[in-house]
Amino acid sequence: MSLPIAVVGGGSFGQSLARASARVGQRVLLWSRRPRELPEESITCTTELRELADAELVLFAVPSPHVGEVADELGHHLDGSHLLVHVSRGLVGDELHTVSEVLAERTPCRRVGALAGPLVAKNLASDEPSGAIIGSQFPEVVEAVSEALGGPSLRVYSTPDLVGVELASALVGLVALSLGYAMQMGMGPGALAVLATRGLAEATRVGELRGGQPRTFAGLAGAGDLIAAVAGDGRPEIEFGRALAQGLSLAEAAERADAYIEGALLAGQVAAFAARARVEVPLSTGLARLMRGEISVAKLTEALMTRPATRE
């Protein structure tokens, strides 16, 4: 009998991953802090992390603020044979450490990967056709994720550019947030297109500094993900941006969008990282200043629009 797939995190994303995997015939062990029950027979819910040691592939669907703490606990039960793949969109600290770096540091697992692209909980749980990208340097991780999730309704592409996938996934969230903001402010399609493409160019510059490949940002993890967000896949970052534009505080906006404040605070991390590397990130720097109340939306828009237009 094949080994079960483990899913860490009983939130909406974790549950959707478990369902998507069960749909393609896998046995799933779903860990969550609180006891849960799911109707699918092939999904076994547990509150004991040690039970996940039986699996080979462990899908890590924990919100970025809790990644370190859960990784520490999970690490007690895993070893070098486990394949650990996360779906987080976060980056850690001003050095922009990726979640896979945190996992490799705090657990014994080295065969790590990140699943990204236009993945949202609602679509993943339903049978709606979609796609995803698995970033990992380990061929067995790519193979295991494709087997665990790939099927008629989910095309799973792969790339060895793990850091590129993680950076693209996180930074697209920031671009989506600013697009939500701009939409709420009533900006037209032309302005949104400029914001989206310049945002992606900025994300690519930052990603390259961290060792990512530019083409990853043009693929499913970057441009693909952003198109899905703008097309209305119910991405919390868009709603977060809209709520902020309505004058809500960070905490209130996050609550309304069912998002984490950290998603918005990423702008400050990116700005600090880029300043050290002496790379221009006008969008992230502007957003960070906006969040800190140092600049108004009107001033930010003016500052961005009056920058000299250079070669693309």
Partner 1 sequence: MKLFPTRPLRLPRLRTYVPRPEDPKIFWFNSERADIVDEVVRRIMERYDAEESVELALNDCAYHEIRRLEQIKSEGARRKLEYWRGILRRVGRMSAEGKHETLREIAADMSRDVAGNFDPRVYDFASRFVPGVLTAAMNPSGILKNLMNGGGRLDGLVTTEGPIDKIRQLSKRGTVVLVPTHSSNLDSIAIAWVLFREGLSPVVYGAGKNLFTNPIISFFMHNLGAYRVDRRIKAMLYKEILKAYSCVVLERGYHSLFFPGGTRSRSGAIEKHLKLGLAGTGVEAFARNRARGIDRPVYFVPATINYALVLEAETLIEDYLKEEGRARYIIEDDEFSRIERWISFFNKFRGLESVCVIRFGEPFDPFGNPVDERGDSLAPDGRVIDPGSYVSRRGTPSVDARRDAAYTRALGKVLAEAYQRETVVMPTQLVAHVIFRRLVRATPGLDLFARLRYRGSIAIPGDELRTELGETRDRLVALEAAGKVHVSNFVRRESPTTILDGVLETWAGYHATRPVARMQSGSLIAEDPNLLLFYQNRLRPFAPEIAGDNEADQIAAREIAGMEHRP
What is the length of the chain? 312
Nearer to partner 1, 46 or 137 (CB): 137
Residues 6 or more apart whose CB falls under 8 angstroms from that of 306 comprise none
Q: How far is the CB of 45 from partner 1 (least distance, A)?
A: 25
Beta sheet of 57-60, edge-to-edge order: 43-46, 28-31, 5-8, 57-60, 83-86, 112-116, 130-135, 154-159
Question: Nearer Cβ to partner 1, position 53 or 304?
Answer: 53
Binding to partner 1, residues 77-96 (CB under 8 A)? 79-81
Radius of gyration of the chain (CA): 19
According to DSSP, the β-strands at 112-116 and 130-135 are antiparallel
Region from 131-139, 245-253, 259-267, 303-311 binding partner 1, contact rule CB under 8 A = 131-139
Q: Is 280 in the site for partner 1 (CB under 8 A)?
A: no
CB 167 within 8 A of CB 206: yes
Query: Smallest distance, Å, CB 106 to partner 1?
Result: 6
Residues linked to residue 131 through DSSP beta bridges, in sequence order: 155
Angstrom distance (rounded) from CA 244 to CA 257: 10
- The residue from 12, 42, 44, 137 that contacts partner 1 (CB under 8 A) is 137
Residue 83 CB, shortest distance to partner 1, in Å, is: 9
CB of 80 to partner 1, least distance (A): 3
Question: By CB under 8 A, is residue 107 in contact with partner 1?
Answer: yes
Give the contact letters, 43-72, x = binds to partner 1 (CB under 8 A), - = no. Answer: -------------x---------------x
Burial 24-41 (b: 16+ CB within 10 A, else e): eebbbbbbbeeebebeee
Q: Tell me the backbone φ, ψ of residue 225, rounded to 5 degrees.
A: -65, -40
Residue among 19, 23, 89, 111 that touches partner 1 (CB under 8 A): 111
If one asks whether residue 108 binds partner 1 (CB under 8 A), the answer comes out as yes
How many Å apart are CA 88 and CA 177, to the nearest integer? 16
Report how many residues bind partner 1 under the rule CB under 8 A.
23
Regarding beta strands 112-116 and 5-8, do their DSSP bridges make them parallel or antiparallel, or are they unpaired?
Answer: unpaired
The answer to whether 106 contacts partner 1 (rule: CB under 8 A) is yes
* Among positions 33, 122, 276, 299, the unique one binding partner 1 when judged by CB under 8 A: 276
Binders of partner 1 among 143-182, rule CB under 8 A? Answer: 160
For residues 128 and 140, which CB has a smaller minimum distance to partner 1 in the complex? 140
Question: Computed from CA positions of residues 67, 70, 75, 80, in that sequence, does the dihedral angle turn out positive or negative?
Answer: negative
If one asks whether residue 3 binds partner 1 (CB under 8 A), the answer comes out as yes
What is the binding site for partner 1 (CB under 8 A)? 3, 56, 72, 75-76, 79-81, 104-108, 110-111, 137-140, 160, 276-278
